[in-house]
A and B are shown apart, each in its own frame.
Chain A
Amino acid sequence: MTTALDPAGGSQRRVKIRIKHLVKRFRSLVAIDDVSIDIEEGTFFAIVGPSGCGKTTLLRILGGLDQVTSGEVEISDPAPGRPKYSMVFQGDSIFPWMTVRENAAYGLKMRKAPKQEITEAVGRYLDRTGLTRFADHYPHQLSGGMRQRVSIARAFANDPEVLLMDEPFSALDEQNRTILQQELLRIWEVDKKTVVFITHSVDEAVTLADKIMVMTASPGRAKTVIDVALERPRNVLELRNDPRYGKIVYGIWGHLKDEVERARL
């Protein structure tokens, strides 16, 4: 099945990320096979799929860490001087040799932002992630959840056009994950940047996203895109009690079930 998927719904928003006929091969292995998708500005866009469906590869291509084999990936960039994207990585990615504050300032420092802007942006996002008290701590003094908050603060403080998140909460226990999901939503709802969020958790995708792309197992293809018609702001826990939530999760599992089974063979 080779599908070019049009975003559902008739919104008037601009397309922020355009992926056209993206193919990625590692030697003979086809990791991503002809994926086309438009992501509109301000959308929280989640990608779910079984392990090995190429979702992380897709994000790394968007983030300039991997090259396409063929096809096109484009992030429109109307605001001069602002970075196109910042990435939140899976697992521990903050520098252990920098304090929380220095880590959060990293992106801004690398693009030589003015000192005052750095101080302001870092202060703002350390505050929003509840890290102000730990600004001068080193990562080894923090818990896993706190370290991932630093990673989120680092990405947001850089003020990018697009946020790329690669299973940022997958290494955390369930309680911490729930807390960080809520915090991420709270921070994100302030200025609603375009987000591409990779996860293997259907619950997480439905909790956070406006749209969810389901990918097939290797080779990775776009199977379908689902709209999550749940109003914002969302409460991560209350959501679980909403019958619409269960319905959407169930619907996605319908698409995913065959893929997961196929991936296991």
Chain B
Amino acid sequence: MSASDLVDRAKPAARTVDIGERARLAARRRDRILSIASPLGLLLAWELAAQTGLIDVRFFPAPSAIIGKLIEMARSGELTENVLISLQRIVLGFLLGGVPAIVIGIAMGIWRPIRALVDPLIVATYPIPKSSLLPLILLIFGLDEMSKVVMVAIGVFYPMAINATAGVLQINQIYLDVGKSFKASPWDTFRTIALPGALPFIMTGVKLGAGLALILIAIAEMVGAKSGIGYMIWSAWETFAVTKMYVGLFVIALIGFAISLLLNEIERWVIRWKADA
């Protein structure tokens, strides 16, 4: 036997990779089906309970009635308009809070002095319930769009910044050594090592931030807006239009669900290099 025999035999089999790939795809499809089945099941049970009089439809109108109202409101344009304005605020807030959160969070992870400088500020302000800041935000930014966008931005900033820092800190030192050894500039270290290495953690921060964004946009619109889903729910309460109120709740739930599906897809794409992605 010669060394070259050994070399030939050591070529890894491409087929094993394919089988693993197929199993992973099947598991992914199953997960997706399951995550759609559970909310549908809940709706079905609710409908049955309302139809049979098990629950009081004055407080809990049947999903079919809510959907009827939803279609009516969608036709009149009232719903679409409010949904779009809320989504716009969420997206802008995400950008306003998320981009600096990632930059500051990663910088804190890479450079100790920055961490020492910024960390106390984050630790001190993090426990403040973001909703309690609303009066102050309204005072500063008025009743215009900006106050709502800022509320979302503040909510999104904390989980994203904290997770970005944690994400960088858990990067194996050897990767930073490799960067140093190949003379990576600070910008290249950020771009090629810290950011991609921290991305799994950052995506967790984004998901947490999305949940907070929905909570905060609803509250902000209830108090300080004349449009958006939060406003829609609040004005329905003021006029005792219970079904309309449910449409608002229903739509918010739907938006939350759609956002989390979207974020899961983004996550899969962004960290496709991970074994279990």
Hey, which bits of chain A sit against chain B, CB under 8 A? 63-65, 83, 85-87, 89, 91-93, 95-98, 106-107, 110-111, 130, 133, 137-143, 145-146, 158, 175-176, 178-179, 182-183, 235-238
Does A110 contact B10, Cβ atoms closer than 8 Å?
Answer: no
A interface footprint on B1-21 (CB within 8 Å = 1, 0 otherwise): 111101100111010010000
The chain A residue sitting closest to B179, CB to CB, is A110
Residues of A within 8 A of B177 (CB): 65, 89, 93
Cα distance A175–B272 in the bound complex, in angstroms: 31
Q: Can you give 16 contacting A-B residue pairs, CB < 8 Å? A: A83-B183, A89-B177, A91-B174, A92-B174, A96-B273, A97-B273, A98-B192, A106-B192, A110-B182, A139-B273, A145-B10, A158-B182, A178-B3, A182-B4, A237-B1, A237-B2
Does B183 contact A110, Cβ atoms closer than 8 Å?
Answer: yes
Give the contact stretch, choosing among B26-34, B64-72, B127-135, B193-201: B193-201
Closest beta carbon of chain B to A133's beta carbon, Å = 7
A interface footprint on B55-98 (CB within 8 Å = 1, 0 otherwise): 00000000000000000000000000000000000000000000
B188 at the A interface (CB under 8 A):
yes
Closest beta carbon of chain B to A138's beta carbon, Å = 4
Cα distance A67–B191 in the bound complex, in angstroms: 26
Between B1, B174, B196, B273, the greatest number of chain A beta carbons within 10 A of the residue's beta carbon is seen for B273
Residues of A within 8 A of B185 (CB): 110
Count chain B residues whose beta carbon lies closer than 8 angstroms to a beta carbon of A. Answer: 33
Residues of A within 8 A of B4 (CB): 182
Cα distance A202–B177 in the bound complex, in angstroms: 27
Partner of B12 from A83, A95, A111, A143 at Cβ < 8 Å: A143
Closest beta carbon of chain A to B110's beta carbon, Å = 16
Residues of A within 8 A of B192 (CB): 95, 98, 106, 110
Whether A93 contacts B174 in the complex (CB less than 8 A), given A86-B181, A107-B182, A141-B17, comes out as yes
Does A130 contact B11, Cβ atoms closer than 8 Å?
Answer: yes
Residues of A within 8 A of B3 (CB): 178-179, 182, 235-238
Residues of B within 8 A of A130 (CB): 7, 11
Does A140 contact B275, Cβ atoms closer than 8 Å?
Answer: yes
Q: Among residues 219 to 277 in chain B, which have CB atoms less than 8 Å away from a CB atom of chain A?
A: 271-275
Cα distance A106–B11 in the bound complex, in angstroms: 24
The chain A residue sitting closest to B5, CB to CB, is A237
Partner of A95 from B1, B178, B183 at Cβ < 8 Å: B178
Residues of B within 8 A of A92 (CB): 174
Partner of A93 from B12, B178, B199 at Cβ < 8 Å: B178
Total residue contacts A-B, CB cutoff 8 A: 90
Closest beta carbon of chain A to B186's beta carbon, Å = 12
Does A65 contact B199, Cβ atoms closer than 8 Å?
Answer: no
Hey, which bits of chain B sit against chain A, CB under 8 A? 1-4, 6-7, 10-12, 14, 17, 174-175, 177-185, 188, 192-193, 196-197, 199, 271-275
Cα distance A43–B14 in the bound complex, in angstroms: 37
The chain A residue sitting closest to B14, CB to CB, is A133
Does B6 contact A97, Cβ atoms closer than 8 Å?
Answer: no
Residues of A within 8 A of B196 (CB): 95, 97-98
The chain A residue sitting closest to B189, CB to CB, is A110
Residues of A within 8 A of B6 (CB): 175, 178-179, 182, 237
Cα distance A110–B196 in the bound complex, in angstroms: 16
Residues of A within 8 A of B179 (CB): 110
Given A106-B192, A182-B4, 19 more pairs with CB closer than 8 A: A63-B181, A64-B180, A65-B177, A85-B181, A87-B178, A91-B174, A93-B174, A93-B175, A96-B274, A98-B192, A106-B178, A106-B182, A107-B182, A110-B183, A130-B11, A140-B274, A178-B3, A178-B6, A182-B3
Residues of A within 8 A of B272 (CB): 138
Cα distance A182–B185 in the bound complex, in angstroms: 35
The chain A residue sitting closest to B270, CB to CB, is A97
Residues of B within 8 A of A86 (CB): 181-182
Cα distance A93–B10 in the bound complex, in angstroms: 21
Between B4, B175, B182, B271, the greatest number of chain A beta carbons within 10 A of the residue's beta carbon is seen for B182
Residues of B within 8 A of A137 (CB): 17
Does A183 contact B7, Cβ atoms closer than 8 Å?
Answer: yes
